Structure 1
Amino acid sequence: MKQFIVPQFIDVEDKILGPITVRQFVLIVIGGIIEFLSFRFGDLGFFIVMTIVILALVGLFGFVKINGAPFHYFLLNIAASFKKPALRVWNKNFREEVLLEAKTEAPKKNYKPKSPLSTSRLSELSLIVDTHGKYKGEE
């Protein structure tokens, strides 16, 4: 039988510059290109605003992980849960009035307290338990 090498750690991204992965490097390059274009074709105020926005977005999408998953997966999961929520509600048409009417008090039941066990009855129960039910007790 042939033996095949099974790749391991396939969910770990390749690092190219120290701790920076290929995806992070591409995001940084794209952010740098957008920054250069805003510097070249915009005025100083536009450039400063774009710098803050682009740095925040590149940092967020490139380096932030939520529950071990990249931020863009988190956004995709949020969009999917808004599109098709996992919580299923049986009948959405209930109004508060219907629920408040259903909260009427339950009728009180008359409970008769049990009489306390006498010492002879307790010793008889103890004997039944000790003999594992072989002694049936006085009926």
Structure 2
Amino acid sequence: MRYEVPQFSEVETKIVGFLSFKQLIYLGVGGGMVYILYKTAPNPFVFIAIAGPIAALAIALAFVKVNGRPFLNFLGSLSQFLLRPKFYIWKKELPKMKQVKYEEEEEK
């Protein structure tokens, strides 16, 4: 019996236009948060100060790749690096070399 082996299984299926399901969710949640903030913010300065980073994070999660990896994986690695303690492994010092001075013999 022959079976068809799927190819390109790591490519996400596009749901709406050029957006995959994951991208659509990131943008939808970010857009929803910005909209709620727009309706509840006391003045435009507060809205811009809070909504700007939320929108930037949603766009970055949806479209940005760092070294070919999704931005969410990059954020996870970054947070692990920043939060975990840094430790150093002890390395034995090499013995210090003695300096030997050679004096040239005088010719007779």
TM-score by length of 2: 0.70
Question: How many angstroms apart in 2 are the aligned matches of 1:51 and 1:79?
Answer: 22
Q: Secondary structure at the match of 1:3?
A: coil
TM-score by length of 1: 0.57
Once the two structures are TM-superposed, the CA of residue 59 in structure 1 deviates from its matched residue by 1.7
User: Deviation digits for residues 118-139 of structure 1, max 9, x if unmatched?
Assistant: xxxxxxxxxxxxxxxxxxxxxx
Preserved contact between residue 38 and residue 46 of structure 1 (Cα < 8 Å): no
Question: How many angstroms apart in 1 are the aligned matches of 2:88 and 2:2?
Answer: 47
Question: How many angstroms apart in 2 are the aligned matches of 1:106 and 1:22?
Answer: 68
Verify: 1:46 aligned to 2:46, yes or no: yes
Unaligned runs of 5+ in 2: 103-108
The one-letter code of the counterpart of 1:25 is L
Could you tell me which residue of structure 1 aligns to residue 13 of structure 2?
Answer: 14
The one-letter code of the counterpart of 1:106 is K
Preserved contact between residue 28 and residue 58 of structure 1 (Cα < 8 Å): yes
**Counterparts in 2 of 1:63-78, with a 5 A limit?**
63-78=63-78
User: Deviation digits for residues 27-86 of structure 1, max 9, x if unmatched?
Assistant: 11111110111111122222212221112101221111011110111222334556488x
Preserved contact between residue 24 and residue 63 of structure 1 (Cα < 8 Å): yes
Preserved contact between residue 34 and residue 55 of structure 2 (Cα < 8 Å): no
Preserved contact between residue 13 and residue 21 of structure 1 (Cα < 8 Å): yes
**Counterparts in 2 of 1:1-139, with a 5 A limit?**
2-43=1-42, 44-80=44-80, 83=84, 89=89, 91=90, 104-108=96-100
Higher relative contact order (Cα pairs below 8 Å, separated by 6+ residues) = 2
Give the paired residue count: 100
Question: How many angstroms apart in 2 are the aligned matches of 1:21 and 1:84?
Answer: 37
Unaligned runs of 5+ in 1: 111-139
Q: State, as a whole percentage, how many aligned pairs show the same letter.
A: 28
Q: Structure 2 vs 1, CA of residues 41 and 12 (structure 1 numbering), >3 Å: closer, same or farther?
A: same
Q: Structure 2 vs 1, CA of residues 109 and 7 (structure 1 numbering), >3 Å: closer, same or farther?
A: farther
